[in-house]
Amino acid sequence: MENHSKIIFHIDMNAFFCSVACILYPHLRGKAFAIGRENSYKGVISTASYEARALGIHSAQPLAEAYKIKPDLRVVHIDYSIYNDYHKKFVKLISEYTNIIEVASIDEVYADMTLISKKIHPIVLAKEIQLRLLKEHNLPCSIGIAPTLFLAKMASDMKKPLGLTVIRKREVKDILYPLPVKDIFGIGKKTFPKLMEKGINTIADFMNPENKDKIINTVGENIYNYAYNHILGNSSNIVDPYRYDESKSISTSETFDVPLISFDEIIIELRRMTKSIYKRMIKDNYFTKTVTLTLRDTNFNTITRQISYDEYTDSFDEIFDSVYELLEENMKDLEYRLIGVGVSNLVKEDKLPKEYNLFTLADTSNKEIVIENLINDFQVKFGKNALYRKKK
């Protein structure tokens, strides 16, 4: 790597859901199988083993179509909590090498290995991590090494499974430019076909200044500038363990191997997520003004909807009622592979406006004091029998 450059690893589990399935069901190893809804022709493939992919079976593919390709295709479903357990094992192992880790999803992390790489060569280190994950947890991974997060992500995607790729800034033209334009991280599945229609087939085409205007006309100036500068290595090299823990918002989301199709099963998961967020709110004494719901269907269409309050609240019932309302208003007759919930516009209890409404105070004892004071003031003005509390 260049002198003074950060050494960023992007560690990406290979077919993570399938890898976990093989741990639980060893007979699946080396076989063509998929993760999805068992014993059903409804729904879509969540992910497929590499052997199944070689047959043309892929994620987001209707199960009925996959069965036409391979009538005896084995489809399995595993509880999400098991995936989460293996995610924790994966992250724990990486934390033995650095504490500067940013979790990007359940099956990928960025890790700043700059410090430890002064003692161990980064390629040796990457091979050691790959070997340990495989031997200790039966989890294969690919690792990209680069001076920025974007280039590390691009590198890890180049060789799967068990790939190891290094991209230095001076090597970008040699390594990335020959790749198809669809491989640019951040260019969506609906975008790259439009670029190809304009003759932008490779990353080299994308980076060619002569194509700038027609690319901007296709994807917009913001996306063009983002991708162009990131490919050149002019982007962030900061691995931020707290990137998603900012006090401005608390959120959580999950991707399900078997898409959710009914209101009841979605609302059960959303209630669990809301409880998790609520615990974090109460732990840190936060109040919220905005509740957000995220839904992504199996065609990767994502909607985000929110409700904002006039007053801050720390009421679980009020927050969950909002989640329920948002789901009722926005759920369609679709299959959902990702759902999420969040709260934002947060403020600490001690930072609440002084004139704050008594009905949104967090502490029940505080509410009681305010109520008693109001009753006493009313009685002084209008008599003791004008307003009083029933005895229990």
Active-site annotation, residues: 108
The whole-angstrom separation of Cα 302 and Cα 334 is 12
Surface-to-core class of residue 329, CB atoms within 10 Å of its CB (0-12 exposed, 13-18 middle, 19+ buried) = exposed
Amino acid identity for residue 83 in this structure: Y
DSSP string, 203-219: HHHHH-GGGHHHHHHHH
φ/ψ (deg, to 5) at 117: -70, -10
The H or E element containing residue 145 is strand 141-146
Question: What sign results for the dihedral spanned by CA atoms 328, 332, 334, 339?
Answer: negative
Residue 145, C-beta contacts closer than 8 angstroms, at least 6 positions apart: 1, 7, 8, 9, 113, 122, 123, 126, 152, 155, 164, 165, 166, 167
State the chain's maximal CA–CA distance in angstroms: 88
Cα–Cα distances (Å) from 367 to 185, 347, 352, in that order, read 51, 19, 15
Residue 92 has a CB neighbour count (10 Å cut-off) of: 10
The whole-angstrom separation of Cα 234 and Cα 211 is 20
The whole-angstrom separation of Cα 281 and Cα 342 is 11
